[in-house]
Amino acid sequence: MRRYDLDWLRVIVFALLILYHVGMLFVPWGFHIKNNVIYDWLTLPMWFLNQWRLPILFVISGMGTYYALRKRSGNQFAIERVKRLLVPLVFGMLLIIPPQVYIERLVNNQSTGTYLNFWPTEAFIGVYPEGNLSWHHLWFLPYLLLFSLVLIPVFIYLRKHPENRFINWVRGLVRHPVKIFLFAIPLYLIEALVEPFFPVTHALIGDWFTIINYIVLFFIGFVLISVKDTFWQTVEKFRKRFLITGILCFTVMAVLVINFEDGIERHFTEAFLKVINLWSWILALFGFAAKHLNKKSNILSYCNQAVYPFYILHQTVMMIIAYYLIDLEWNLVAKGTVLVLGTFGISWLLYEFLIRRIKYIRPIFGLKKRTY
């Protein structure tokens, strides 16, 4: 049975990604280009969103893999993953990402020519950030492809042995609202012991914290969907407890970070609060979605198909708009509104009247080749 709540969560999380990337223009954190005014107060809501938006996306991806493998062999699944992930990645690196790099070079006075001078002559010289070849926000695709291919033998075994000892053990854990937090233990060990030595780069090679952390979340997603209704009954029943736990953890973590200096004790304490916080929010979101969103709709069907092309397009659209806004003496509301509406609007126009309707364009945006 299809979980429509998972589809809704996927759509919602990717929509939040667009809002998050717009927000990156206005906070002190590093980003490709920045607004002429930085708003420090925006850091806290951005930090809150950043705690769980990517973790839940990898969990959802693991759950989606369970469904993708139901009617496919390992080889068929591998071919399908390459088509759906590698093809859009290569296309994106060739045509979608270069405008972002060009805009960054313009803003930083590292390029003065037109875009036709930049692409393709300079666009593929060297690897970003020193060079210009990059996958920028599409980094999610090579990581997801890697995880999908590496874990095929494990997933095939679990699919063929649905009542094996490990799955039965997991089924026992997820029945209990406290024991379900045991999934946070490996996340804590990774956060506490791996993260300090391997800063996040999204370069894949040598990005060990990101790889280990997200492949574990991806695997957890597959395992949780394997126990079926047992998991959904628990998160729906205890969703309010998980929500309260998440609110308390984030509050304590914010107080800790604001009032205490860096040190080994703070690191281990913050790592503990971080994983309990993100796991609580993931469980709460699954619970509320199971309660309120597990229903089919035409809007969901449309959005579920559009979300992948939107993901591929949105940051390039946003940065082109931002290039003409960042130096204007407008306030946050005015700039933010134009950026959000412009990014969604232009992405929708490209999707609705080009990507969605032309069967030969659909595959390079990760969609099945069919006509309407």
Instruction: Map out the domains of the chain as residue ranges.
Output: 4-239+288-365
| Separation in Å, CA 167 to CA 139, 160, 174, 235 | 31, 12, 11, 18
Q: Quick one: pLDDT band at residue 17, thresholds 50, 70, 90?
A: very high
CB 18, CB 49: distance < 8 Å = no
What is the residue whose two structure tokens read 């390039």? 316
What is the pLDDT, as a whole number, of residue 338?
A: 98
Burial string for 47-83 (b: 16+ CB within 10 Å, else e) reads ebbbbbbbbbbbbbbbbbbbebbeeeeeeebeeebee
Residue 372 has pLDDT above 90, yes or no: no
Q: How far apart are CA 49 and CA 16, in angstroms?
A: 8
What is the pLDDT, as a whole number, of residue 228?
A: 87
Angle, to 10 degrees, between the axis of helix 264-292 and the axis of helix 184-193? 150
CA dihedral 121, 312, 149, 83 (to 10 degrees): -80
**Tens digits of per-residue pLDDT, 313-340?**
999 999 999 999 999 999 999 999 999 9
pLDDT, mean of residues 172-176: 96
What is the pLDDT, as a whole number, of residue 83?
A: 96
CB 305, CB 367: distance < 8 Å = yes
Would you state the structure tokens that stand for residue 170, as one six-digit string?
Answer: 């997991």
Percent of the chain scored above 70 by pLDDT? 99
Q: Under the phi-then-psi rule, with left for phi > 0, alpha for psi from -120 to 50, and beta for the rest, what region is 200?
A: beta
- Share the mean pLDDT of the chain: 96
What is the pLDDT, as a whole number, of residue 262?
A: 85
Enter the DSSP assignment of 116. H
Would you state the structure tokens that stand for residue 276, as one six-digit string?
Answer: 């309990």
Instruction: Please give the model's pTM, rounded to 2 decimal places.
Output: 0.96
**Tens digits of per-residue pLDDT, 116-137?**
999 999 999 999 999 999 999 9
User: Within 10 Å of residue 366's Cβ, how many Cβ atoms?
Assistant: 22
What is the pLDDT, as a whole number, of residue 371?
A: 47
What is the pLDDT, as a whole number, of residue 112?
A: 87
Percent of the chain scored above 90 by pLDDT? 94
